[in-house]
Structure 1
Amino acid sequence: MEQEEFNVNLGVKEIQEIIPHRYPFLLIDKVTYMEPGKKVIAYKNVTMNEYFFQGHFPAEPVMPGVLIIEALAQAGAVAILSQDSFKGKIAFFGGINKAKFRKKVVPGDVLKLEVEIVKIKGPAGIGKATAYVEDKKAAEAEIMFMIG
């Protein structure tokens, strides 16, 4: 298949048809590329209006690293739960390995979230996840999931 076949334009409404997350915990705004069950590219527009900036940190707002990992997991869940065999289910964290944070994510940044599913065995799998800001790595991790 040609790569262009996987270019998509999913907004928040379409994303909410795939994953169960809602405000204030839906952390992806759009999906531009998706191979169901294999790979996804999604985006999060980080604004000063995010609830977590009230306390993290008032004098220097920084997106918490765990929420960057959560945004990556949500992007990966869109790819997994778009696969016919998993539609309508929920993806749960099974583990997080090799997480590294390389750049602060601040209001005004656009997070590019790339997740490649590297292994699926039954209802469990592993994704290689990387978040970028302006083509610089902000965070990366290996995320394990279970479909429930």
Structure 2
Amino acid sequence: MIHTENSVVTKLTDEQEAKLRESFKRFSPETLEAILRFRRERDLDAVIVSIHGIIERYLKFDPGEHIAQRPDTTRLGEDLGIDSLTMLEIVMSIEEGLDFRAEDSDVRNIRTLGDVRRYVDDRVHGRPVSIAMIETYDRYRLCLILPQQPPFLFLDKAELQGDAVRATYLFRGDEFFFPGHFLNDPVVPASIVYEALGQACCLWMLEQVPSRLQQTPATNQLLFVGMDEARFFRRAKPNDEIHISLTLTRLRAPLAIFSGQVKVQNQLLARVEGLTLAFGDFNPAAFDAAPKAAVNSPSRNGAEVSARV
């Protein structure tokens, strides 16, 4: 028996090791050795190597590229191309390699690489699962919540998960702005992409601020204050579907600040930093008088940071 801080581990038998070697023979040698090290010794440092190696087995990367280089915000579907069947294979391999059973209800809330890392880390440490539940919204539900309405609603579906909001919108080609932008070669205006980003942020604020700050923003009090930085890398056209990913970076009444990106056809369309919305008792005149004044807002660990708007 091997004693660790959180559990008592049964020694890996020769039969179990032989089965693992057979099951993971098509994985990289580093992945197999990390799995065996974890199963023999409960070496927790081997867990992340095991996770990354298992995921890489089901993906195609350029030479020298590794999943460990990808940030937590990497989306399993849109960014890595992992479909539901491949995800099932990955989950089953993780279960077998690291010796635990993943609950279906937990797997349904896994959307990003960071979710996978946190979930497995929680399980092998014996902690309660910390990944946030996903709340989904179709267009009908969005119309019931958001102040923006058709034909000026540029979200078809959305998901909220903790500090993250993800949304999609398909430009169908019959939107009111296409006939005038541009003649014979319609292009989605940058301002419309910004508007879609702002609408996604509005959804997060209307749904999450009440529980975070014990106050409910009125829809007529939501204001788009500005962005610190925004860049476009390509164009979107009719029949393109945009995929929005935003994360709350700072929240302190009356401001909520987000950063994120928009993709189209799995290619980066735009990136934004410091997208700021205001709500409640917000006085625009104070900001007009001192547009570069620092607004103090607490970081998630309680430290003071400075947000410029």
- TM normalised by structure 1 equals 0.89
Larger radius of gyration: 2
Q: How many residues align?
A: 145
CA deviations over 1:60-89 (Å, ceiling 9, x no partner): 110000110110110111111101245452
Partner of 2:247: 116
Match of 2:161 among 19, 25, 35: 35
How far is the alpha carbon of 1:125 from its aligned partner?
1.6
- How far apart, in 2, do the equivalents of 1:97 and 1:88 lie? 23
- How far apart, in 2, do the equivalents of 1:65 and 1:107 lie? 14
Partner of 2:267: 136
- How far apart, in 1, do the equivalents of 2:167 and 2:176 lie? 21
Q: Which has the higher helix share?
A: 2
Match of 1:89 among 218, 232, 241: 218
How far is the alpha carbon of 1:129 from its aligned partner?
2.6
- How far apart, in 1, do the equivalents of 2:179 and 2:248 lie? 34
What code does the residue aligned with 1:64 have? P
Q: Find the residue that maps to 1:47 and give its secondary structure.
A: coil
Task: After TM superposition, list the pairs within 5 Å mapping 1:30-109 onto structure 2.
Answer: 30-31=157-158, 33-35=159-161, 38-83=163-208, 84=210, 85=214, 87=216, 89-90=218-219, 91-109=222-240
What code does the residue aligned with 1:89 have? A
Which structure carries more relative contact order (alpha carbon 8 Å, separation 6+)?
Answer: 1
- TM normalised by structure 2 equals 0.44
Preserved contact between residue 113 and residue 130 of structure 1 (Cα < 8 Å): yes
- How far apart, in 2, do the equivalents of 1:6 and 1:105 lie? 31
| Unmatched segments (≥5 aa) in structure 1 | none
What code does the residue aligned with 1:61 have? P
- How far apart, in 1, do the equivalents of 2:215 and 2:200 lie? 15
CA deviations over 1:13-58 (Å, ceiling 9, x no partner): 2112221101121111111x2125x211100101111111010012
What code does the residue aligned with 1:102 have? F
How far is the alpha carbon of 1:98 from its aligned partner?
0.9
What code does the residue aligned with 2:142 have? I
Answering whether residue 246 of structure 2 is matched by residue 147 of structure 1, we say no
Q: Find the residue that maps to 1:57 and give its secondary structure.
A: coil
- How far apart, in 1, do the equivalents of 2:266 and 2:161 lie? 21
How far is the alpha carbon of 1:99 from its aligned partner?
0.8
Q: Which has the higher strand share?
A: 1
- How far apart, in 2, do the equivalents of 1:17 and 1:39 lie? 21
Q: Find the residue that maps to 2:227 and give its secondary structure.
A: strand
How far is the alpha carbon of 1:97 from its aligned partner?
2.0
Identical-residue share of aligned pairs (%):
26
- How far apart, in 1, do the equivalents of 2:161 and 2:226 lie? 23
| Unmatched segments (≥5 aa) in structure 2 | 1-105, 110-131, 281-309
Partner of 1:9: 136
What code does the residue aligned with 2:183 have? P
After superposition, the Cα gap between the structure-2 partners of 1:99 and 1:120, relative to the gap in structure 1 and judged at 3 Å, is: same
